[in-house]
Amino acid sequence: MPCSTGGANWEGGAYDPETGILYVPSRSCLMTFALIPGSETGSESIYVNGGNGNNPAMNVEGIELFKPPYGRITAIDLNTGEHAWMIANADTPEELQNHPLLEGVDIPRTGVSTHTGLLVTQSLLFSGEGQGGGPIFRAHDKASGEILAEITLPGNHVAPPTTYMHEGRQYIVTTVTMGDSAEIVALSLPD
């Protein structure tokens, strides 16, 4: 169920050459696709996706038709081909936690169906929730996926982060959006 934008898309993940672990962000979503006859372009058929206004409801009163997680980060050991761990890429959205049809149901962390940019360093894995998620940036234990820290950003994380050193200090830089504008945010440990 990767939909038209892919399960693991342009973000591509992050590779740790010291451990041989590849960290892959992926998402699940339902979408309809079709070939319809003819078009103004002269083609005999045209490809369309669910965005053409004829998409049937792919949920029940806002609840997805498939089991979460809706977005995840998976650590793949390229030495063995085995999945080392998997974690949902975000908390459960409030509208799902408080949905009347799910009253009394213990809902695990579901993640969100977004593209999550990742960065792996010598000691940590960093992730955001992606556009459509929350303005949260997380530091994970790269061996287990455990969340070690959460940082609130001024907007939603929308691109894979990068890192650089300047005068002996390491910075992590990511792009965030606040609707019509975007910013580049640099993070560093305090002196």
pLDDT in tens, 98-109: 999 999 998 889
DSSP H helical ranges for the chain: 94-97
Domains and CATH numbers, the chain: 14-28+70-187 (2.40.128.630), 31-65 (no CATH)
Question: Distance between CA atoms of 141 and 186, rounded to whole angstroms?
Answer: 21
Is a pLDDT exceeding 60 seen at residue 55? Answer: no
Q: Say yes or no to pLDDT of 52 above 50.
A: no
Q: What is the mean pLDDT of the chain?
A: 85
pLDDT of residue 191: 77
pTM, entire model: 0.83
User: Minimum mean pLDDT among 44-48, 59-63, 134-138, 167-171: which range?
Assistant: 44-48
